[in-house]
Amino acid sequence: MLQLFRTERMWRTPPSLSDRYDVVIIGGGVHGLAAAYYLGKRGVKNVAVLEKSYVGAGASGRNTAIIRSNYRTPEGVAFYDESVKLYEGLSVELGYNVLFSQQGHLTLAHTDSAVNGLRVRAEVNQLCGVSSRVIWREEIQKLVPAMDCSDRPRYPVIAALYHPPGGIIRHDAVVWGYARGASRLGVDIHQFTEVTGIDTAGGAVTGVRTSRGDIKTGTVLNATAGFCSTIAKMVGMTLPITTHPLQAFVTEPLTAFLDKVIVSSNLHVYVSQTDRGECVIGSEIDPYTSYSHRSTLPFLEATAHHTLELFPCLRDVRVLRQWAGICDMTPDYSPIMGEVPALKGFFLDVGWGTYGFKAGPVSGYRMAEAIATRQTPELLKPFSITRFHEGRLVGEKAAAAVSH
């Protein structure tokens, strides 16, 4: 008989909050859920994910779903390369189609200094074994026939960093897939459960207070985006982070015309077309700090203007919806990961700026390793919180999409 309704739910909703968990993960986005999933796979039992809203309500549901590993530093490239590889196998891993389209990613340069930046990235990428090379106008035009590569625009396209493994993915499917997988491995996912305090004693974490009751635990992972500073303050810690809005919008669906992700580092705009035909268009972070999710007209005007420089064919296209997320920016545009040395059992997976979604699988995988083994994986060592006072910054500003 035709089954009209799914009887199986995506993930279990535990009836109550247990008063003791071995690991408490704060944040039900891709990072927290992936960490929970990989902890479950390692056989770590009694894990809870606490989400103050619904799963994927934060940055995981408010990004432009771009996946790539063409970063600027060897540390960044190695890290994101592992993420791309995990994304490549994710549909099979989770038994859930995450619609990863590895269509290729182009970072455009419109000035000589931007071309130099692309050359450096291409060199580093190639040395790290990542497919990425500088291409010029003729080849760009062949790859993206709809883009204006002529001398007409105010800043004509000169070159691009072409990164064939880059692409786009269905971000909500990734979040739901990890939540479903984690739940099947026994993780308790508590939505609408806000953390209100964290207890410590003798230099170690001892518990978490929430809007639904208190939990005793020796291990807490702060995997929040937008609110990581608020959570860190609960243990008396000030993170080197400022929080900015990042806006984006989506057009009405169009016949397929663009099968590459286009990022312009000079025009501060990025454009891709989803499998539904909509163009997803974004810009750099708003230049002021704020926790606002409000969309603004100046953003829409400026970003549409820059998009039309590249794609005059979008002139009469209507905008369907616009949104904003909030981004936690570190001084070097790299994340902060690992256990906090001064507070046993308190782990950070924060500072994800505008590049967090693409790192979900690798962060989850490696943070789970760090928690389960109490050893910092090699891949995470460059991103420790101690780098700020040790002067070991991992400068990714030039490769953080359009955020410079």
Residues that bind ligand PYC (CB under 6 A): 64, 66, 68, 270, 282, 354-355, 400-401
Compare residues 52 and 358 and give the one whose CB is closer to ligand PYC: 358
119 HSE (CA, 13 A, CB side)? 8
- What is the C-alpha separation between 62 and 239, in angstroms, rounded? 23
CB of 37 to ligand PYC, least distance (A): 23
Compare residues 270 and 299 and give the one whose CB is closer to ligand PYC: 270
Compare residues 210 and 272 and give the one whose CB is closer to ligand PYC: 272
Contact 400/355 with Cβ under 8 angstroms?
Answer: yes
Compare residues 270 and 346 and give the one whose CB is closer to ligand PYC: 270
Q: Can you read off the two tokens belonging to residue 366?
A: 């490696």
Compare residues 246 and 367 and give the one whose CB is closer to ligand PYC: 246
- Give the three-class secondary structure for 324: strand
Residue nearest to ligand PYC (CB): 401
Compare residues 176 and 270 and give the one whose CB is closer to ligand PYC: 270
CB of 329 to ligand PYC, least distance (A): 12
- What is the C-alpha separation between 90 and 174, in angstroms, rounded? 8
Compare residues 64 and 334 and give the one whose CB is closer to ligand PYC: 64
Contact 313/337 with Cβ under 8 angstroms?
Answer: no
CB of 288 to ligand PYC, least distance (A): 18
**Which residue has tokens 């230099």?**
203
CB of 8 to ligand PYC, least distance (A): 34
Q: Can you read off the two tokens belonging to residue 157?
A: 């396209």
CB of 263 to ligand PYC, least distance (A): 7
Q: What are phi and psi of 208, to 5 degrees?
A: -130, 135
**Which residue has tokens 């590249």?**
310
CB of 143 to ligand PYC, least distance (A): 18
Q: Can you read off the two tokens belonging to residue 129?
A: 């074994």
CB of 264 to ligand PYC, least distance (A): 11
Compare residues 181 and 353 and give the one whose CB is closer to ligand PYC: 353
Contact 247/296 with Cβ under 8 angstroms?
Answer: yes
Q: How far is CA 84 from the centre of its chain?
A: 12
Q: Can you read off the two tokens belonging to residue 207?
A: 């518990």
Please report the sign of the dihedral spanned by the C-alpha atoms of residue 365, residue 367, residue 368, residue 370.
positive
Contact 247/301 with Cβ under 8 angstroms?
Answer: no
Compare residues 162 and 346 and give the one whose CB is closer to ligand PYC: 162
Contact 186/22 with Cβ under 8 angstroms?
Answer: no
Q: Can you read off the two tokens belonging to residue 371?
A: 């928690």
Strands (E), 252-334: 261-264, 269-273, 279-285, 319-329
Q: Can you read off the two tokens belonging to residue 94?
A: 């989770």
CB of 96 to ligand PYC, least distance (A): 23
Kindly report the length of the chain. Answer: 404
Compare residues 100 and 347 and give the one whose CB is closer to ligand PYC: 100
Q: Can you read off the two tokens belonging to residue 215?
A: 């939990």
CB of 402 to ligand PYC, least distance (A): 7
Compare residues 27 and 325 and give the one whose CB is closer to ligand PYC: 325
CB of 128 to ligand PYC, least distance (A): 17
CB of 68 to ligand PYC, least distance (A): 6
Pick the closest to residue 255 from 284, 278, 282 (CA basis).
Answer: 278
For the chain, the first-to-last Cα distance in angstroms comes to 57
- What is the C-alpha separation between 18 and 188, in angstroms, rounded? 9
